[in-house]
Amino acid sequence: MTQTVVTGATGRMGRRLIALIHGDPNCHLAGAVTRAAHDAIGRDAGEIAGVGTLNVPVSANLADIVVKADVIIDFSVPEASLNYLRLAREAGVAMVIGTTGFSAAERESIVDHSRYIPCVMAPNMSLGVQVMFQLLQQAAALLGSGYDIEILEAHHRTKVDAPSGTAVRMGEILAEARQQTLDAAGVYGRQGQVGVRSDTEIGMHAIRGGDIVGEHTVIFAGTGERIELIHRSQSRDNFVQGAIRAAQWLVTQSPGLYGMEDVIRAE
């Protein structure tokens, strides 16, 4: 049984993680953490997740329960995630990071911590998205510079970072396939007299509204034809199942920073 602590336990992803961990015969919920002063503190995590009493109270202090864990699964916010990662490193506990919106400096901090503990970090833990990443690399390499690339992503109204981490990773993959960098090629939205589109740019556009779980569309627009690759998440369970899969794999690994492609390749 993989002893698992869930941070961000009262969020959408956290609640589904608790529910699916409870239903997984190879996982056990060892703890649940949320931000201080949340009204769920002290309540049973299973009741918060809608799966009944699990006798695991929601806590605000990871330091008190990290010693019970084999692995932490984190879907929270960057500042909290980095604090959790520091505690994981001190305790020698593996960590799966699904949080997005990290700055370049914060990502460097994650790399540093991962020299001491095994860590999986991925902007999207869906198997389908991992397949789409590979398809995008192949399409960009095969189509070459004769096709303009635009990325469109849509998420629920409460998502705080834009573009999504998944869209950014797609942009990085496409830029690398064209021997570019996303920093140089990325164009984020357009307004006003923007001029003629360049041959090298990669357009990036974000939609926020309602309860959209997550949609990513990549358009390759050529002369006389257009190719579109689309991934639509119909529920959060595909992300959660991927995170649990990553956690169970990670606890047997050496220190280092891994991605979902490593998890999938190994199985």
| Long-range pairs, 124-127, Cβ under 8 A, ≥24 | 124/165, 124/166, 124/169, 124/214, 124/239, 124/260, 125/98, 125/238, 125/239, 125/240, 125/242, 125/243, 125/245, 125/246, 125/260, 126/231, 126/233, 126/238, 126/239, 126/242, 127/238, 127/242, 127/264
Q: Is the preceding peptide bond at 123 cis, omega within 30 degrees of 0?
A: no
Tokens coding 49: 């997740």
Q: Which of 22, 68, 159, 205 is catalytic?
A: 159
pTM of the model: 0.82
Q: Distance between CA 169 and CA 265 in Å, rounded? A: 18
68 a catalytic residue: no
Mean pLDDT by 10 residues, the chain (267 residues): 96 95 96 93 96 96 94 95 97 95 94 97 91 95 94 95 94 96 96 94 98 96 97 91 95 96 83
- Looking at the chain, how many residues does it have? 267
Backbone angles phi, psi at 221, to 5 degrees: -105, 115
What pLDDT does 37 receive? 86
pLDDT of residue 267: 64
Give catalytic status of residue 155 as yes or no: yes
Which single residue is written with the structure tokens 């164009």?
Answer: 187
| Rounded (10°) CA dihedral 121, 159, 189, 154 | 90
SS3 226: strand
Q: Provide the 10 A C-beta neighbour count for residue 124.
A: 26
One of 113, 155, 216, 231 is an active-site residue; which one? 155
